Amino acid sequence: MPEPAYVSSSPFVPAAPSPGPEAPLAAPAALRPVPPAVPSYDDLVAPASDRIVSLGGQPVRRLASFTVSARLRGRDVLADTDLTPDEILEVLDTAARLKRLHRAGEAHAYLPGKTLGMIFQHPSTRTRVSFEAGMAQLGGQAIFLNTNDLQLKRGETIGDTARVLGRYVDGVVARVKHHSDLVELAAGAEVPVYNGLSDRAHPMQALSDLLTLQERFGSLVGLKLAFVGDGSNNMAASLLLAGAAMGVHVAVAGPAVDQPAAEIVSHGRWLAGRSGAGPAGTGGATVTVTDDPWAAVKDANAVYTDVHVSLGQADEPARAVALAPYKVTEALMAAANPGAVFLHCLPMHRGEEVDAAVADGPQSAIFDQAENRLHLQKAVLLQTMC
């Protein structure tokens, strides 16, 4: 068998004199054997993980099986009445499961390759970030489209914009000044359109609030929600309709000039009557509108308020004076159910519509609400884009 070859491990080794024919060939101390070209038996039987080094790329994470209803596939969510009560329950269930996966750090990229277009006519923190982050966590991506960057600014019609976007993206969320613009957008786009807030409704926030209440109390049926403040705004309307549909007793307290529109109250009472929330034989939930905040919060499980000057309204001193008695104070919270939570859709003005002691106190659930925007909207995206 031939002797192994040797290479020098030092920069330079002088050549030794040639040995005689009988002299044994000895390896100089400064030389080391060259590793054999053929792997040894030990190398061949070593685990693959010991023989392979991965360079670059991302590890592939196995997704857990996740079943959702396909009833919402391709559907718009523009108003609180676009989903039936059982569809709302399905969305809440999906949101709760996605939240558990998110909290556990489990991958849930069930919408790879999907793209969400986002048209915003108003500034946004929670709506924009929660939709963008949600699409990323679901494996897709979102494209933010400020109206100043679109051809809408130069007179292109909403219908033409909608038809073009429908060829590029798989869904559109829009925050608009006028609800009619949202309706026109949905009519032109051939993909799902979601209401990120309009002057008439804020359904994504209301659905997220239902998720928060369900987490806190276990069930929605029979709970009482009191909204105190500007009862004529979009948030009060959405809470009234969504809550009534799910069997929540809703009370809205505000000045006579700042109460929900008659058609909203009428529709809410119809939904409440069909909810089956009341005791056997007594009908469903109730909808109450009053100018007495103390009566509204009596026995309430949740006390909700919003800014006294809503998005797009003029900051009139007269409104501040009229709504001052509807500020949520510690005393008003004490008049609610002992286990009641305080809710606010944010942004918030401490000292105006709510005392800081309430907003930052132990009964406050405002940041749970904000977080649940992420999980609820992911559920809607998943079920409408699946």
Q: Is 49 annotated as a binding residue?
A: no
From CA 322, how far away is CA 319, in angstroms rounded? Answer: 5
Among the four given CATH numbers 3.40.190.10, 3.40.50.620, 3.40.50.1370, 3.40.50.970, the one describing domain 204-372: 3.40.50.1370
* DSSP structural state of residue 305: E
pLDDT of residue 148: 76
Phi, psi for 225 (deg, rounded to 5)? -115, 125
Q: Is 124 annotated as a binding residue?
A: yes
Q: Is 286 annotated as a binding residue?
A: no
Q: Which two tokens stand for residue 108?
A: 């849930």
Q: What is the three-class DSSP state of 117?
A: strand
pLDDT of residue 55: 65
Q: Is 62 annotated as a binding residue?
A: no
Q: Is 151 annotated as a binding residue?
A: yes
Which CATH number applies to 80-202+373-385? Answer: 3.40.50.1370
Q: Is 141 annotated as a binding residue?
A: no
Half-sphere exposure of 243 (CA within 13 A, CB side): 32
pLDDT of residue 5: 47
- Residues with catalytic annotation? 175, 202, 205, 306, 345, 373
Q: Is 337 annotated as a binding residue?
A: no
Strands 302-305 and 224-228: parallel
Q: Which two tokens stand for residue 97?
A: 């499961």
pTM for this entry = 0.83
pLDDT of residue 158: 87
Q: Is 310 annotated as a binding residue?
A: yes
pLDDT of residue 181: 94
pLDDT of residue 319: 87
* DSSP structural state of residue 333: H
Q: Is 205 annotated as a binding residue?
A: yes
Closest CA to 239 of 312, 186, 289, 177: 289
pLDDT string in tens for the chain (386-residue length): 555 544 444 444 445 555 555 555 555 556 666 655 565 556 555 565 556 656 666 666 789 899 999 999 999 999 999 999 999 999 999 999 999 999 999 999 999 999 999 999 888 999 999 999 999 999 999 999 877 777 765 678 889 999 999 999 999 999 999 999 999 999 999 999 999 999 999 999 999 999 999 999 999 999 999 999 999 999 999 999 999 999 999 999 999 999 999 999 999 999 999 987 655 445 689 999 999 999 999 999 999 999 997 655 666 788 889 999 999 999 999 999 999 999 999 999 999 999 999 999 999 999 999 999 999 999 999 999 99
User: Where along the chain do its domains lie?
Assistant: 80-202+373-385, 204-372
pLDDT of residue 318: 84
